[in-house]
């Protein structure tokens, strides 16, 4: 079994070394993906102002929907690949990636068509105001054209990492991001294209990343394709989608949070001194900064996914425990750094997005310090969910993913905003983080007990 031998080092090399090898490129790839939107917002904030940022905030949830579907397929394919290689099942390995490629292509095209047909409805759903509506439509109509490329790249980079090539995955993503970073100021400031320029810069970068990603699959490392690999198989698709559900929910939860928050801001913002557009812009910025921290958190966990999955499939449970310990320690470090940054110097981050009124800055500081106050606990919860996905526990992973954002956070946002307005709603996040962290401890404790039983048998 040549394919199994190719990845046998996952069962022998030191865990710390493997985590570094896989997680660093993975973190950089996910960080770059998160920066696509935030770079646009920085340049738009400096040129158009907070109304431009409010517009990109309204469009952002739809791009996250696309990312969620991409990771549903891509992370599921990657998890199934690792488990298959751990069991020595080379035929299933090629089939799951082939099916994943076909699914990402189909989904990317469908998302683009739906977005073009229902642009106005989507913008209204995500809370576009009359002030920022034109900017939002201009931005979205162009961004939609890049959706097929974005979905394919975001999804299949997970498979490349699981195939033992995290560096290539990082390269594919970074090249597109650098191109976007170069083209953004050129199109916005030199060509005076405003939000349209930012959108064109983004999709050009996505197309280049997509081409690089596609080239990789001409000669993967640990498996081979056959004709049957690209024929959609119900059982294969079901298995990979089940394993990718946690990643899907993690991203969709962001969409739900932004959508609920935006609509509650529109409903209650007029009754506060901050109005509607200031909170709408600030929440968008905070959620994107939050996305950067989660890129570190999830990137570390996803980097450990091939190691945990391979060893779980091979029955090396002690190494599985070691992977989880390394992942959690790294996430605690990320959470502490982020928490200190948000609590002690939020103004530094706020200034990156342009100079605005004192009222704007006041709400932004409050938002960073309160809304992101439980970021440390959130990092541990997100990483634990990815770990459960990696060892083939889709139901538990899904339940844990739902707990923080859907079960706790969204209802709290609604209740607190209706009761205390746009400032009260900020306390929903740290309360949800505490509740979800308690649930994480309970769920992981029971899973560890179950694995120890398998180890003793």
Burial 121-149 (b: 16+ CB within 10 A, else e): ebbeebbbbeebbebbbbbbebbbbbbbb
Q: What are the structure tokens assigned to 52, written together?
A: 């431009």
Does pTM top 0.75 for this prediction?
no
**pLDDT in single tens digits along all 457 residues of the chain:** 333 445 667 777 888 888 888 888 778 777 776 676 677 667 777 666 666 666 777 787 888 889 889 989 998 888 888 878 777 776 777 888 889 999 999 999 999 999 999 988 888 877 766 777 787 888 888 989 999 999 999 899 888 988 888 788 888 988 988 898 899 889 888 888 878 888 899 899 999 999 999 999 988 877 778 788 888 888 888 888 888 887 787 778 777 887 788 888 888 877 888 888 788 878 878 887 888 898 889 889 988 888 888 888 778 888 888 899 999 999 999 999 999 999 998 888 888 776 667 888 889 999 999 999 999 999 999 999 889 888 878 788 888 888 988 899 999 999 999 999 888 999 999 999 999 999 999 999 988 888 888 777 6
Closest CA to 58 of 276, 365, 281: 281
Q: List the end-to-end C-alpha distance of the chain, in Å, as a whole number.
A: 27
The string of DSSP codes covering 52-81 is: HHHHHHHHHHHHHHHHHHHHHHHHHHHHHH
- Give the pLDDT confidence score for residue 355 in this predicted structure: 62
Residue 336: both structure tokens together: 């502490």
Considering only CA atoms, which of 251, 256, 48, 263 is closest in space to residue 135? 48
Sequence-separated (6 or more) residues with CB below 8 Å from residue 326: 15, 16, 19, 304
Q: Which of 266, 250, 251, 288 is nearest to 413 (CA)?
A: 266
DSSP 3-state percent helix, strand, coil across the chain (nearest 5): 90, 0, 10
Q: Which is it for the CA torsion 44, 49, 53, 54, positive or negative?
A: negative
CB-based burial label for 117 (10 Å; 0-12, 13-18, 19+): exposed
**Residue 387: in which H helix or E strand, if any?**
helix 375-390
Tokens read off for 338: 């982020």
Residue 362: count other Cβ atoms within 10 Å of its Cβ.
14
At residue 431, the pLDDT reads 96
The per-residue pLDDT for range 113-140, each reduced to its tens digit, is: 999 999 888 888 777 667 777 878 888 8
Q: What is the DSSP letter of 407?
A: I
Residue 2 confidence (pLDDT): 39
| Cβ pair 312, 392 in contact under 8 A | yes
Neighbours of 434 (CB within 10 A): 15
Q: Using DSSP, how many helices (H) and how many strands (E) does the chain show?
A: 18, 0
Distance CA 364, CA 372 (A): 11
Structure confidence at residue 119 (pLDDT): 86
pLDDT digits (tens, 9 = 90+) for 341-368: 999 988 888 887 766 678 888 899 999 9
Residue 104's pLDDT is 95
Q: At what angle do helices 166-185 and 15-47 cross, to 10 degrees?
A: 10
Give the other-Cβ count within 10 Å of 286's Cβ. Answer: 24
């Amino acid at each position: 079994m040549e394919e199994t031998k190719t990845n046998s080092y996952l069962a022998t090399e030191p865990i710390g070394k493997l985590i570094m090898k896989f997680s660093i490129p993975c973190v950089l790839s996910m960080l770059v993906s998160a920066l696509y939107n935030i770079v646009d917002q920085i340049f738009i904030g400096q040129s158009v102002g907070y109304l431009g940022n409010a517009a990109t905030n309204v469009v952002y949830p739809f791009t996250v929907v696309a990312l969620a579907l991409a990771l549903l397929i891509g992370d599921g394919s990657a998890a199934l690949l690792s488990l298959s290689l751990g069991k020595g099942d080379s035929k299933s390995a090629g089939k799951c990636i082939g099916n994943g490629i076909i699914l990402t292509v189909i989904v990317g095209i469908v998302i683009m068509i739906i977005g073009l047909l229902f642009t106005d409805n989507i913008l209204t759903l995500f809370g576009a105001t009359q002030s920022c509506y034109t900017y939002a439509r201009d931005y979205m109509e162009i961004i939609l054209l890049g959706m097929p490329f974005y979905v394919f790249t975001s999804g299949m980079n997970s498979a490349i990492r699981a195939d033992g090539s995290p560096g290539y995955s990082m390269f594919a993503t970074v090249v597109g991001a650098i191109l976007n970073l170069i083209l953004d100021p050129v199109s916005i400031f030199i060509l005076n294209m405003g939000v349209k320029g930012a959108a064109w810069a983004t999709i050009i970068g996505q197309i280049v990343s997509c081409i690089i990603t596609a080239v990789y699959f001409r000669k993967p490392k640990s498996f081979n394709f056959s004709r049957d690999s690209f024929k959609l198989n119900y059982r294969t698709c079901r298995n990979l989608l089940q394993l990718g559900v946690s990643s899907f929910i993690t991203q969709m939860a962001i969409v739900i949070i932004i959508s609920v928050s935006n609509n509650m801001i529109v409903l209650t913002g007029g009754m506060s001194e901050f109005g509607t557009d200031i909170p709408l812009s600030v929440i968008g910025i905070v959620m994107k900064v939050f996305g950067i921290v989660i890129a570190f958190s999830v990137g570390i966990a996803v980097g450990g996914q091939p190691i945990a999955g391979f060893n779980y499939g091979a029955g090396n449970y002690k190494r599985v425990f070691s992977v989880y310990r390394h992942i959690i320690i790294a996430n605690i470090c990320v959470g502490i750094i982020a928490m200190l940054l948000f609590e002690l110097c939020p103004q530094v981050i706020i200034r990156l997005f342009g100079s605005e009124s004192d009222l704007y800055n006041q709400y932004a500081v409050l938002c960073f310090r309160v809304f992101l106050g439980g970021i440390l606990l959130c990092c541990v919860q997100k990483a634990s969910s990815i770990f459960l996905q990696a060892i083939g526990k889709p139901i538990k992973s899904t339940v844990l993913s739902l707990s923080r954002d859907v079960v706790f956070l969204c209802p709290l946002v609604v209740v607190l905003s209706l009761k205390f307005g746009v400032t009260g709603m900020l306390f929903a996040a740290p309360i949800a983080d505490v509740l979800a962290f308690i649930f994480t401890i309970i769920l992981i404790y029971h899973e560890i007990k179950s694995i120890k039983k398998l180890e003793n048998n």
